[in-house]
Structure 1
Amino acid sequence: MKLFSTFLLLTLLLAGCDSQAMLVNKQAFEIEHFKTENGAIISPVKVGWEAYGKLNDDKSNVILVTHFFSGSSHAAGKYQAADAAPGYWDAIIGPGKAIDTNKYYVLSVDTLVNANVFDPNVITTGPATINPATGKPYGLTFPVVTIGDFVEVQKALLDSLGIDKLHAVIGGSMGSFQAIEWASRYPQRVKRLIPVIGTAYIDAWAAVRLERWAYPIKQDPAWHGGDYYQHGQPEQGLTTALAYIIQDAVYPTGFNMRYPAPATDKAPHQDILASFSAWDQLMAHAKLRAQMQDANHILYLVRASQLYRAGMGDNWQQALSRVQAKTLFLPATGDQLLLPEMAQASVEAMRAAGKQVEYAEIPGIWGHLDGVVGITAVADNIRSFLEQE
């Protein structure tokens, strides 16, 4: 617990979060019958959502925030004043902040197959959900879902609220996929697009890297081919998967500051079976995260991410040519997961199509994680971009 608390404190300090965060409520949205991109019907679909700020009369001040792989719709504020931490982008969302809730109505939605199934503040439908037709969890009978499906659920929510235009859509990592998909799929509805630590496509290298996150789960005998709900989580596989996810999100400089160097360990010098303290501590951190997450949901999020390319068709560059939104790409300089080169290739494809695109990098020592804990470094970029005519 000490390791987790230390990292939580570090995250809060780096993000510049204050103790006077907004108080927010989780709301629920339900679609009676949802048809996925591959033609499956899920009945019903339920997701949670949060909003910050006030919707103006003509509903033109909406900013949609789409969340990252292991995140949720809790982008800012606290549910209770005593909560240990506010939402992940509280440093830039709130009154007077870069995404100013005195001006904008900021809305965020839990994705389908959200990883954090056992977090009481997350509402999602996925493999761990009880299938009304059988009375048992869906497990692997749940259909493969895509980033496009996540967007369609969000669109259904916005339609139900009478919101047909977005001042901006902004999202980090997997959230950048959703943001880009919004702007390419519904170009007339999105005025500004801000992909943070993101890309318009996943290539073979990135897809295989993501497969490393799925592999430990599928190799754990306790996974039972995805039908483990009557037995309990495949704890070892899930914990190992989350350890890989954590490591991949952190640049070596930050990782080495956080975990002990091999030279400090005596046992591995003498015993081939002895583990390093860095690995033990990383696994301890991952085990804490595993308490809130579901192994099958991780597999479905991995697959949705692996399959992503703008437009979800054969030509992501052509899909980007449909984007009408002014665009600001914000990769992290040290990102080892979604490389800055991937953002640059996305920018080049948009510029080749005659689109207006800005580009700036998030500096820092945390790599992919800088898109969360280092986001204040580009707060002014975000603020001025949102204010552009």
Structure 2
Amino acid sequence: MLRRALIRAALAPAAIRGVLDGAARRAGLAAGLSGALAAPAIAQAPTQAPTQPPVQTAPSGTAAPEDGLVEKKVFETQGFRTRGGATIPTVRLGYQTMGQLNAAGDNAVLICHFFSANSHAFGRYAAGEAPGYWDAIIGPGKAIDTGRFFVVSSDTLVNINPRDARTTTTGPATVNPQTGRPWGMEFPVIAMRDFVEAQKLLLDSLGVKRLALVAGPSNGALNTIEWACAYPEMIERAMPVIGAGEFDAWMIGWLDVWESPIRLDPNWRGGDYYGVGREAPLRGLAEALKIVSLHARDRGWARQFGRRPAEGQDPARRIGDRFAVEKWLEDTATARARTADANSFLYMVRANQLFLNEYPSSEAALANSKARWLVAASLGDRVFPIEYNHELVAMLRRAGRPVEFVELRGDLGHLEGVAGMAQAAGPIGRFLAG
């Protein structure tokens, strides 16, 4: 039952319903970092931003309900100043919480999401729906115990899912109040540090004074590290999962590969595709998501497909016919592209490329940290190979920081840090108990 819950969690933000067996777990996770398996098609809004939930002024936290249901809330702030010096008139971020903030405001945990996810890291939005992607380790009595901690998870700026009704973000698909049209590529460049600053405003509004833990996988790992370097006095523990301490030229180049199909799609039009009568660059976005989908997996995941052709096709006779793995990646990425936004994908890529960009080096940034660290990495990771995590651990030790290392094993590659976190529950629990 636990493994099935993990499958559904890894497919955030959209829900995958039904009971999945062990084989379907490996097939289903191909949505992973690129999103959900069979997300419903949503029509492109040509000139207006998607309808967002109203701003809610909820109390700082409530105890977890017995049924594990959580509520999506919205934080809004005015006149957000980016680290690059631009001003965004209004910023809105979706978030969810579980647990109760104590009087001192120092038992909070912040969860930062992976590249294509949103704030749905734990709990369910409705009975029968899939749980959040880290539900295996967050909740009452779990490794990150919401009976002890007040856990917050938020959407980021420039989240790639602005057309998902359960994502609230501000980015290039948002209407610029000065023009009445979506910002497009005129939206200010956003760095990873901007994610931190927006989240800091959210936490301030909730009364959080100190974070007992900041954690997250992949993009969320970078977000975690940026937090520990930017606000060292505020962070007691940091847990980057399937991440890296440095975003070097090799990784910058890989993310350029991720985004290149979008820029080559003629419908992209330099990012100006929101107008009436214009088509979104769905083909380019789908190809980008296909690259991410395969890059985020290891060879073990692909064994389920073998070399068999797609149903009813024969690649040995017709050049246009596909192998099963090709067809699966194509169908998954095409469905996922309908709920995402191409410009937001580009902005999310740039935010990752600008990780720790305000410091002379990663070593200098990490020297600021005062936190205790738990670094978790996947042995078969192809996105952030495990040596990146070994380098992070070495840098932290040279900085004199206490650090523990956990190796995740399985056939899912990078995605072990999303769907395979149950194997790290023990080390996480001990890390938080200390």
User: Structure 2 length normalisation: TM-score?
Assistant: 0.83
Tell me, yes or no, if the aligned pair for 1:21 and 1:86 is still in contact at 8 Å.
no
Q: 1:277 offset after TM fit, Å?
A: 2.7
Question: Which of the two has greater helix per residue?
Answer: 1
Question: Residue deviations 1:286-310, cap 9 Å, x none?
Answer: 122112211110111111112213x
In the alignment, what sits opposite 1:117? 162
In the alignment, what sits opposite 2:182? 137
SS at match of 2:95: strand
Q: 1:313 offset after TM fit, Å?
A: 2.0
Provide the rounded CA distance (Å) in 2 between the counterparts of 1:281 and 1:228: 28
Provide the rounded CA distance (Å) in 2 between the counterparts of 1:45 and 1:291: 24
In the alignment, what sits opposite 2:321? 274
SS at match of 1:207: helix
In the alignment, what sits opposite 1:232? 279
SS at match of 2:20: helix
1:199 matched to 2:210? The reply is no
In the alignment, what sits opposite 1:44? 90
Question: Residue deviations 1:152-171, cap 9 Å, x none?
Answer: 00001111222121001011
Residues 21 and 213 (structure 1), Cα distance of their counterparts in 2 relative to 1, 3 Å cut: farther
Provide the rounded CA distance (Å) in 2 between the counterparts of 1:8 and 1:216: 35
Provide the rounded CA distance (Å) in 2 between the counterparts of 1:205 and 1:70: 21
In the alignment, what sits opposite 2:382? 336
Identity of aligned residues (%): 42
Q: 1:274 offset after TM fit, Å?
A: 3.2
In the alignment, what sits opposite 2:220? 175
Instruction: Name stretches of at least 5 consecutive residues in structure 2 with no aligned partner.
Output: 1-10, 29-65
Question: Residue deviations 1:262-297, cap 9 Å, x none?
Answer: 578863223334332321211101122112211110
1:350 matched to 2:396? The reply is yes
Match of 2:427 among 352, 374, 381: 381
Q: 1:260 offset after TM fit, Å?
A: 4.5
After TM superposition, list the pairs within 5 Å mapping 1:254-273 onto structure 2. 254-257=301-304, 259-262=305-308, 267-273=314-320
Match of 2:103 among 57, 73, 93: 57
Tell me, yes or no, if the aligned pair for 1:255 and 1:366 is still in contact at 8 Å.
no
Provide the rounded CA distance (Å) in 2 between the counterparts of 1:350 and 1:143: 32
Question: Residue deviations 1:321-362, cap 9 Å, x none?
Answer: 111000010011110101110011011111112111111111
- Taking only aligned residues, the RMSD between alpha carbons, in angstroms, comes to 2.2
After TM superposition, list the pairs within 5 Å mapping 1:63-212 onto structure 2. 63-83=109-129, 85-212=130-257
SS at match of 1:331: strand
SS at match of 1:167: strand
Tell me, yes or no, if the aligned pair for 2:81 and 2:87 is still in contact at 8 Å.
yes
Question: Residue deviations 1:216-253, cap 9 Å, x none?
Answer: 11100111110111213211101111111111111111
How many residue pairs match? The answer is: 379
User: Structure 1 length normalisation: TM-score?
Assistant: 0.93
1:301 matched to 2:348? The reply is yes
Tell me, yes or no, if the aligned pair for 2:104 and 2:209 is still in contact at 8 Å.
no
Q: 1:7 offset after TM fit, Å?
A: 10
Match of 1:9 among 20, 29, 33: 20
Provide the rounded CA distance (Å) in 1 between the counterparts of 2:100 and 2:307: 49
Question: One-letter code of the match for 1:329?
Answer: V
Provide the rounded CA distance (Å) in 1 between the counterparts of 2:287 and 2:310: 23
Provide the rounded CA distance (Å) in 2 between the counterparts of 1:362 and 1:235: 34
Tell me, yes or no, if the aligned pair for 1:22 and 1:78 is still in contact at 8 Å.
yes
Instruction: Name stretches of at least 5 consecutive residues in structure 1 with no aligned partner.
Output: none
Q: 1:5 offset after TM fit, Å?
A: 5.5
Q: 1:132 offset after TM fit, Å?
A: 0.3
In the alignment, what sits opposite 2:259? 214
Tell me, yes or no, if the aligned pair for 1:174 and 1:305 is still in contact at 8 Å.
yes
